[in-house]
Amino acid sequence: MLSIKKLLAVIGTILALTVLAPVASAGSHHAFHLDKTCADDSSEPLGFLCTVEHSDFQWIPAGTDIHYTQGPADNVQIAAIDIGNGSTTGACTWSSDVDAVCVFSAGTGRLTQFNLEVVVTANADQSIWYWDGDYWFGN
């Protein structure tokens, strides 16, 4: 009888871990990197349009556009990313002409509960811009 109780305890533990594992992995942080080129956006005063050249994140592939518009403060821009099945918007706070931190949370469609925090930098002639940081899904 004791061995049946142990067996049931082991099965119960396995079932609990199976149910809880997706919840735990949902909030796991993953490395994020992309390279993009940018130009003034003629349709938006003080805006920029950037095109992803390379991305390690499959849902924001090369060719994806990132639109920047002026934010609520002089050193803040709003960045919007639209993909085939979703979108997300974040705020980028600039500490200099070439250094910023962008924070995205939530989103729609495939990017629902998408969170992204990246540091923005550029190469010497500012022809390529980089986003490096972490992403995760969840609250």
Domain regions of the chain by residue span? 28-137
Average pLDDT for 126-136: 97
CATH number of 28-137: 2.40.350
Dig out the tokens for 64 from the structure.
């994806």
Q: According to the model, what pLDDT value does residue 44 have? A: 75
Long-range contacts of 37-45 (CB under 8 A, 24+ apart): 37/127, 37/128, 37/129, 38/68, 38/129, 41/67, 41/68, 44/69, 45/70
Across 21-25, 55-59, 109-113, least confident range: 21-25
pLDDT of residue 47 exceeding 90: no
The residue to which tokens 């962008």 are assigned: 102
> How far does Cα 125 stand from its chain's mean position?
25
CB atoms within 10 A of CB 53: 14
User: Across the chain, what does the average pLDDT equal?
Assistant: 85
For 65-123, write each residue's pLDDT tens digit: 999 999 999 999 999 999 999 999 999 999 999 999 999 998 999 999 999 999 999 99
